[in-house]
Amino acid sequence: MAVSYKELGLVNTKEMFAKAVKGGYAIPAFNFNTMEQMQAIVQAAVETKSPVIMQVSKGARNYANGTILRYMAQGAVEYAKELGCANPQIVLHLDHGDSFELCKDCIDNGFSSVMIDGSALPYEDNIALTKKVVEYAHQHDVTVEAELGVLAGVEDEVQAEESHYTKPEEVIDFATRTGCDSLAISIGTSHGAYKFKPEQCTRDPKTGKLVPPPLAFDVLHAIEKKLPGFPIVLHGSSSVPQDEVDTINAHGGKLPDAVGIPEEQLREASRSAVCKINIDSDSRLAMTAAIRKYFDEHPEHFDPRQYLKPARENMQKMYEHKIVDVLGSNNKL
């Protein structure tokens, strides 16, 4: 039995993105795989009065089961209401859908937004696949994110050796012919906790830390000029906070030279037509840092609630920081 996201209290991205582009802020898109992540996302969104996109990758579906994640998103809406938010704006989004069948399955099972990622295909094939998904999705009032250009890095099953910036001269043709609602572009962000190789970075002489190359704002601005007001999406936009990496490394972890996108650059992007910013690795780091520290300090404990509670609190703190200090989506409900 097919179920519409509207029955679950979810919303699509249409109005949310229009407001974000106009208001010069971006909607947080947080990936989730576990109950603790879901709770932390909802608590942060309610606390800051922010709309939020909860997204599920193919890897998350493999790990947690797609049906369970859908019910968790339904639970997220009810939980937000219980926490005092009368009208939560929560999107359940498929991250990096790789086939029409997967997108259709999600649309039929309560997702309010899907991404079809045909970015690895030849240009015309990407258009044909995206158009097919858009036609089905729009019959159900579900919004579609497409991708043009290739991001480097590893994210679950999505990986590429090197990035290819989106070509601004292609975006009008692509958006018009596919009918997509938003477009993920490549301007130098990258998946994972190792976004850049040390040889792509410079090193801060004082701290010895890697300083990544800047995002290609010229490409972003050229795209904005071609498609004024069209919702743009940035993937791979974790900042890989050094304090979390340091905590992990101080308590038995080994993450040498992990590096992300500086938050000042994401703040700048949020003020442009970029209206959705994807953050996954930072949540993984916040969870792992809290758990490693807890294990180190309490070797006698073995109740998962004891170490998952500080992990959940650390993720919530990170989500609230992103919403308030980086994306500016607080007080927008």
Measured distance CA(307)–CA(309) in Å, rounded: 5
Cα R_g (the chain), whole angstroms: 19
Q: Which residues pair with 232 in a beta bridge?
A: 183, 274
Binding span for Zn ion by CB under 5 A among 67-75, 98-106, 231-239, 261-269: 231-239
Nearest to 230 by CA among 331, 316, 146: 146
Nearest-approach distance from CB 157 to Zn ion, in angstroms: 11
Is 195 one of the binding residues for Zn ion (CB under 5 A)? no
**In this complex, which beta carbon is closest to Zn ion, that of residue 107 or of residue 277?**
277
Nearby residues of 293 by Cβ (< 8 Å), 6 or more positions away: 247, 250, 251, 310
Q: What DSSP state is assigned to residue 188?
A: S
| Continuous H helices in 5-52 | 14-23, 35-48
Query: Phi and psi at residue 317, in whole multiples of 5°?
Result: -60, -45
- Which of positions 233-252 make contact with Zn ion (CB under 5 A)? 235
**In this complex, which beta carbon is closest to Zn ion, that of residue 59 or of residue 179?**
59
User: Residue 17 corresponds to which amino acid?
Assistant: F
Binding span for Zn ion by CB under 5 A among 17-25, 139-147, 203-211, 228-236: 228-236
Could you confirm whether 98 is annotated as catalytic?
A: no
- Which of positions 197-216 make contact with Zn ion (CB under 5 A)? none
Helix (H, G, I), strand (E, B) or coil at 265: helix
Measured distance CA(291)–CA(196) in Å, rounded: 26
**In this complex, which beta carbon is closest to Zn ion, that of residue 186 or of residue 265?**
186
Given 95, 156, 181, 280, the catalytic residue: 95
272 near 231, Cβ under 8 Å?
A: no
Residue with the closest Cβ to Zn ion? 235
**In this complex, which beta carbon is closest to Zn ion, that of residue 223 or of residue 290?**
223
**In this complex, which beta carbon is closest to Zn ion, that of residue 77 or of residue 266?**
266
169 near 149, Cβ under 8 Å?
A: no
Decide the pairing of beta strands 52-56 and 90-97.
parallel
Nearest-approach distance from CB 278 to Zn ion, in angstroms: 6
Nearest-approach distance from CB 234 to Zn ion, in angstroms: 9
| Count, residues near Zn ion per rule CB under 5 A | 1
**In this complex, which beta carbon is closest to Zn ion, that of residue 93 or of residue 292?**
93
Measured distance CA(71)–CA(258) in Å, rounded: 34
Helix (H, G, I), strand (E, B) or coil at 270: helix
Nearest-approach distance from CB 31 to Zn ion, in angstroms: 9
Nearest-approach distance from CB 235 to Zn ion, in angstroms: 3
Decide the pairing of beta strands 52-56 and 27-31.
parallel
Binding span for Zn ion by CB under 5 A among 64-72, 108-116, 220-228, 229-237: 229-237
**In this complex, which beta carbon is closest to Zn ion, that of residue 39 or of residue 182?**
182
Nearest to 66 by CA among 90, 39, 101: 101
Nearest-approach distance from CB 253 to Zn ion, in angstroms: 24
Nearby residues of 71 by Cβ (< 8 Å), 6 or more positions away: none
Nearest-approach distance from CB 187 to Zn ion, in angstroms: 13
| Residues labelled catalytic | 95
Q: Which residues bind Zn ion (CB under 5 A)?
A: 235
